[in-house]
Amino acid sequence: MAHQRKVSQQTRKCRKASGRGSRLFPEPAERVRFDDLLTRKLVRANERVAEGPVRPTLNFDSFRSELLDFDFETPRPLDELLSWTIDQMERGLVHITHPRYFGLFNPAPTFPAQCADRIAGAFNPQLATSATSPVAVEIEAHVIRSVARRAGFPPEAAGHFTSGGSEANYTALVCALTRANPEFATEGARAFDGPPMFYVSRESHLAWLKIAHQAGIGRSSVRLVATDGFGRMDQNALTDAVGGDLAIGRVPIMIAATAGTTNAGMIDPLWACAEVARSNNLWYHVDAAWGGALIASDRLRHVLAGIERADSVTIDAHKWFATTMGCGMFITRHPHVLSSAFQVSTSFMPSNIPSLDPYVTSVQWSRRFLGLRMFLSLAAAGWNGYAEHIERSIRLTELLEAELVERGWTIANSSSLGVLCIKPPPGFGDVRSIVRRVLASGRAWVAAASFEGNDIIRACVTNGETTEDDVLELVDTLHVPDEMEVCLHP
């Protein structure tokens, strides 16, 4: 008995020496101090970001020189490291959290989502199996079912959270290939009698090329279908592409419509694409990574009519649902196909239940608790709160359009989403020079892009903290002719 007590005391000493109280595992009081310090500094930094330039202001030569001082031989105090890191981030990024960032689909993250990152980081659950993280796995499944139901999918629909839209779209392709030919699981592309093909619009996100490469069927398997002149997939061109491939021995396997194209926010004819898919027995996927957030609004969700006919859908929570990066969702009405596509068995996993364990129904194995970001945001705001967020973005987009049109600018797209493709009046210079001027000013951030063969300026309004004044500031920044700019900055 005395020996057992002696061993126990020695064990406790070892635990204390190697655990709590070290630089990697501080005592609870120290953790509270660091957390408080971090919170205060982040709040102040975010305030300064909103009042300062959108573009980076860091001297990168000095930054790289400072970075070389981190040889990782001599430990540094964590409070100093936190302050240094926040300072570099504040000065060294394009601030997508800035209310005048009108660039890509990267809105400022909701506060509940930021809280979720802290909670997930503290508990660090491994979501590969429901046996090890039953609460976390069920929370994610509950959110997926709720989003699926809101999108019009049947009760049996299932899915999972992903690192982003590319992983979700890749999952759709693997499901399509697996359903088209079950031997794909073992034989790959060799299982097909001809080259497998799938169809997206030429205005779709070209991550599809990387996805085809990753899936092992090659980039030439991606058929970029012509658009109708307004940025949407042309139904006749789609029908001709599928029929033409069948005629020469190729094997069509999937149609992927886009609900919110990257450059212009256009929505492919979802119902018509579903008809072509059904008539040719193809998997029908809708990439609604951005536009899928419209399901939150009872007033606007009709814009996505036809999405409920999809075999699968991609929706990114980190886009218009405004969670932190990266947080995608994949949903399918065929959970059995998902299971057959990613099933694997090994002795070291505590369970293997396709209906519950994410590691046998998804690309990932080790998984972060991503879904908590969407759960807390949706639970805190409700669908009505998200509807208000979406509708507000569109109202601000309409304000931007009205102000620019009044000043002689041209709107090149006709989107139901919060993005404008704009062309300057005569005498304002070319698109790319205007964008360079806006970015150099630091007052706002827009992007140069191409839409239906024309250079345009792309302005996207998705930040939940953008105001009418911010929109008017963008208008004033854009509406400076080149000759006036020369006068202002000789």
| pLDDT tens track for 330-355 | 999 999 999 999 998 888 888 877 77
Q: What is the mean pLDDT of residues 451-471?
A: 95
Q: What is the mean pLDDT of residues 278-289?
A: 98
Distance CA 490, CA 487 (A): 6
The rounded percent of the chain whose pLDDT value lies above 70 is 94
> For 384-397, what is each residue's pLDDT tens digit?
999 999 999 999 99
What per-residue confidence (pLDDT) applies to 485? Answer: 46
The rounded percent of the chain whose pLDDT value lies above 90 is 87
What per-residue confidence (pLDDT) applies to 310? Answer: 98
Q: Mapping DSSP to helix (H, G, I), strand (E, B) and coil, where does residue 490 land? A: coil
Helix or strand run (H / E) with residue 215 = helix 207-215
Task: Spell out the residues 6+ positions from residue 236 whose beta carbon is closer than 8 angstroms to its own.
Answer: none
Q: What is the mean pLDDT of residues 203-232?
A: 96
What per-residue confidence (pLDDT) applies to 216? Answer: 95
What per-residue confidence (pLDDT) applies to 482? Answer: 58
Is the pLDDT assigned to residue 224 strictly greater than 50? yes
Residue 356 binned pLDDT confidence (cut-offs 50, 70, 90): confident
Is the pLDDT assigned to residue 457 strictly greater than 80? yes
| Within-domain flag for 110 | no
| Within-domain flag for 344 | yes
Considering its fold, how many domains does the chain have in total? 1
Residue 208's nearest CA partner among 266, 245, 262 is 262
Per DSSP, what are the bridge partners of residue 222? 198
| Within-domain flag for 490 | no
Other C-beta atoms closer than 10 Å to the C-beta of 288 total 30
DSSP letter, residue 184: H
Joined together, the tokens standing for residue 111 give 């506060």
Task: Spell out the residues 6+ positions from residue 2 whose beta carbon is closer than 8 angstroms to its own.
Answer: none
DSSP letter, residue 107: P
Joined together, the tokens standing for residue 126 give 């491994």
What per-residue confidence (pLDDT) applies to 19? Answer: 59
CATH of the domain at 205: 3.40.640.10
Is the pLDDT assigned to residue 379 strictly greater than 90? yes
| Within-domain flag for 200 | yes
Q: What is the mean pLDDT of residues 454-481?
A: 94
Task: Spell out the residues 6+ positions from residue 99 whose beta carbon is closer than 8 angstroms to its own.
Answer: 50, 108, 463, 465, 466, 467, 470
| Within-domain flag for 266 | yes
> For 290-322, what is each residue's pLDDT tens digit?
999 999 999 999 999 999 999 999 999 999 999
| Within-domain flag for 457 | no
Enter the pTM of the model: 0.92
Is the pLDDT assigned to residue 177 strictly greater than 60? yes
What per-residue confidence (pLDDT) applies to 10? Answer: 54
| Within-domain flag for 276 | yes
DSSP per residue over 4-63, as a string? HHHHHHHHHHHHHHHSTTSSSS--HHHHHHHHHHHHHHHHHHHHHHHHS-SS----HHHH
What per-residue confidence (pLDDT) applies to 29? Answer: 95
Distance CA 98, CA 131 (A): 41
What per-residue confidence (pLDDT) applies to 20? Answer: 66
With beta carbons less than 8 A apart as the criterion, state whether 204 and 291 touch: no
Burial of 222 (0-12, 13-18, 19+ CB in 10 A): buried
Distance CA 155, CA 484 (A): 60
What is the radius of gyration, based on Cα positions, of the chain?
A: 25
Structural domain span for residue 349: 115-378
Q: What is the mean pLDDT of residues 53-79?
A: 94
> For 127-141, what is each residue's pLDDT tens digit?
999 999 999 999 999
Distance CA 330, CA 311 (A): 11
| Within-domain flag for 172 | yes
